Structure 1
Amino acid sequence: MVLCANSFAQQPIVVEGMVPNVATKQDILNKLYVTYGQTNVIDKIQIRAVTAPNGWSTAVNHVISEDLKSIKQGKLSIKGMQVDLRGKVPKQEDIQITTNKVQSLLPVDYKLNAQLSVNTTEQQLIDATLKNRIVEFESGSAVLAPSGIQILDEMIVALQKVNANKIKIIGHTDSSGDANKNLSLSQERARAVKNYLISKTIPVEILTAEGLGSTKPVADNLTADGRKKNRRIEFEVL
């Protein structure tokens, strides 16, 4: 079975290959529908007299997850207990993170061959503009600090160079305090950044905003420096 997509975060998702029976096909399609929406999945699965390991459809369903959505130009191939994953991820550290996550979803006797690379060009331009800096806000709020506005003004110049690509603005917090409040704050901050960029003539149709709260730390939340690094805004070229 093979999943193909320009990006696992975008549509359509094409699924093709051979499975042994209708039940297996439907199990896989149902998981795809839940993950991507039924209208966004192109079904090319054929039913043939092939054999599959015990629990194969369950293993396939585990791998079809939200974690694939960070992969651009993605291709997931599952043949028996051999799993091949190809595509491009936003940053160098995402290669190991994504590989480890997919491996953890597979049974121990399945073999994963992950060939992931960094999505260069536009994403590199955006990352270089941030230069390991953090878009800062007033404490505990979604009001941009002057230093945050200065970074966003530089980001506007970079965004104007990536043509009509979609840009996702992602808000993150540290783990201090209530998780639900952190999630809401991260969403508000992402929207605040989006609104600022729109006010500076960045087209609204290329921007989306999402908040992930404290679920994706990049540093240790036990230290002040780590918490500061985790309170961040990321820009992802889709």
Structure 2
Amino acid sequence: MRGFLRWSSKWWPGTIPLVILWAFAAWTSTGPLESDLAQRTTAALKDTVLDKTKIAVAGRDVTFAADAFSEDGRRSAVASVEAVPGVRLVNDDSRLVPEAKPFTWSAERDVVRVTLGGNAPLPAIKGRLLDAARSSLNGVEVADRMGLARGAPPRFDAAALLLIDQIGKLKDGKITLSDNQVSLSGMARDLGGREAIAAALKNLPEGFSVAANEIKAPPYIFQAYKDPVALTLTLTGYVPDNNVHAALVAAAGRKFFNEKVVDNLKASLGAPSGFFNAVIPALGALSRLSTGTLVVSDREVKLSGDALYEAAAAQIRAALTKDLPRGWQGKQEISVKPAAAPVDATVCQQLFSDLLGKARIRFERGQAVIDPDSAGLLDRLTETAMRCPAANIEIAGHTDADGNEGLNQELSEKRAQAVADYLVRAGLPAERFKATGYGAAQPLASNDTDEGKAQNRRIEFLVR
């Protein structure tokens, strides 16, 4: 016994280095093993659909945490970890992503950015929606406020991608998808945008429908500016179609005898009912101003500027609202330009001749009714007559040679008198004017051509 104790006391100190070597070997080999298991576990999960995945390895035990989007997907992920060679135990900390009821998604646009909110059903779909928004919005900032949730209706991604295409057509507004119901509000960016969005919504996937569409069209604006310095009439804004476009430009050419028409109009959908019948009299009113601006916005007509004399201002104010179609409103800010300096009879005659050399006073065919297109010319003639208050003026009517000579004589007299009456209604004394009809007796050109006949049908102002 005493020998055994002596032997053991000599043996056990030699085991200490062995224990240290074993511990060191175990310590140096565990790190690479855990790292290897972590890499192989991560690789095993690469084809699974998970979010917020975390892998922790202690020895050969793996703790697996992740958000899964279905129970089958969660079980499949756990099984993939368990099947990794070398894994001894799996601690399953995975969970299902919460289900959203209702499942909502939204795209909202303001002056700065587009914000995607609500939920997406999968990370890949969320990324696809973000990429689509950035691609279709041409550099507009896209903010991601989307979460992830279960419960999306079938074909959610197809519906959301179609709605992203529509957000680009808005100036501002919001599109919301709640389960399979679509709601829209806001202002379209361009005329026709509201109609384009409504047409696109007809292509929603099966099962989806529009619960509310409150997209408003931007104001439908037509503008005309009369510049007395540049002698131009500039037309801008929108018209319903090419036919209306051509008709308005032609009407402007007749009404604005002294101005060059600058046509910057564009055809667009969205014109309010009665557009053409509102713009025509409004252009006529503008033609009577020395300078002025006409703005037609939806069903409102605004006219501002300077009339040539007081009676014209009163007539324009009264007629603007009366001549508009039902449901339209007229607003005017009409002042009167300062009276021009008086001139002698010789200058007065020259001014009359210059004006009538640019345009002729028009009448209804075969009648003594003055065409409304001549109102601007008549106001300029009236203003000129006011500048030579001491002069007496003969208003001479002439016709072409077509028809009965006696009827032509009578028509020329009535037309001359109609012009004289216009001047008197403007406030000029009736005794200053003598209306005379000459029928076809004093032609300026041959009556054998339409052009010649047109020159012969005329009114002349002769200062006496």
Q: TM-score, normalised by structure 2?
A: 0.29
The question of 1:80 aligning with 2:280 is answered no
Structure 2 distance, partners of 1:70, 1:172, is 23
Identify the residue that residue 13 of structure 1 maps to in structure 2. 233
CA contact (8 A) 1:16 1:43 kept: yes
The aligned residue for residue 92 of structure 1 is: 310
The 5 Å alignment of 1:2-81 reads 2-7=223-228, 11-36=231-256, 40-48=260-268, 50-65=269-284, 67-81=285-299
TM superposition shift of 1:179: 7.3
Q: Deviations over 1:92-147 (max 9, x none)?
A: 33321111123232113211111011102xx1654xx9xxxxxxxxxxxxxxxxxx
Task: Give the whole-Å Cα distance in 1 for the aligned partners of 2:425 and 2:255.
Answer: 26
Amino acid at match of 1:181: E
- Between the two structures, name the one with larger relative contact order (CA 8 Å, sep ≥ 6): 1
Unaligned runs of 5+ in 2: 1-221, 349-379, 386-392, 396-409, 434-464
For 1:35 and 1:94, how far apart are their aligned partners in 2? 16
Q: CA deviation at 1:15?
A: 0.5
Pick one of 363, 376, 384 that aligns with 1:169. Answer: 384
Partners of 1:3 and 1:75 within 8 A in 2: yes
Q: Give, in whole Å, the separation in 2 of the partners of 1:172 and 1:111.
A: 41
Contact 1:86 1:116 in 2 (8 A): yes
Deviation for aligned residue 1:47: 2.7
Return the alpha-carbon distance in structure 2 between the equivalents of residues 42 and 24 of structure 1: 16
Give the whole-Å Cα distance in 2 for the aligned partners of 1:104 and 1:16: 25
Q: Secondary structure at the match of 1:86?
A: strand
Gapped regions of structure 1 (runs ≥ 5): 130-151, 157-165, 187-210, 220-225, 234-238
Distance 1:230 1:16, change over 3 A: same
- Identity among equivalent pairs (%): 15
Aligned-pair CA distance for 1:45: 0.7
- Helix, strand or coil: the match of 2:421? coil
Contact 1:183 1:214 in 2 (8 A): no
Give, in angstroms, the shift of residue 218 of structure 1: 3.3
Amino acid at match of 1:103: T
State the aligned residue count. 158
CA distance in 2, matches of 1:78, 1:232: 40
Amino acid at match of 1:61: I
Amino acid at match of 1:230: A
Please report how far the alpha carbon of residue 84 of structure 1 lies from its aligned counterpart in structure 2 after TM superposition: 0.6
In structure 1, what is the Cα distance between the partners aligned to 2:294 and 2:223? 6
Instruction: State the SS of the aligned residue for 1:51.
Output: coil
Deviations 1:32-81 (A, max 9, x none): 233336x9211001234x4122221232123332x533311111111121
Q: Which residue of 2 aligns with 1:232?
A: 432
* Higher mean C-alpha deviation, range 111-120 or range 18-27: 18-27
- CA change 1:107–1:216 in 2 (3 A) is farther
- Alpha-carbon contact 1:22-1:47 (below 8 Å) kept: yes
Higher alpha-carbon Rg: 2
Measured after TM superposition, the shift of residue 229 of structure 1 is 2.5
Computed over aligned residues only, the root mean square deviation of the Cα atoms, in angstroms, reads 3.9
Task: Give the Cα–Cα distance (whole angstroms) in 1 for the partners of residues 332 and 226 of structure 2.
Answer: 16
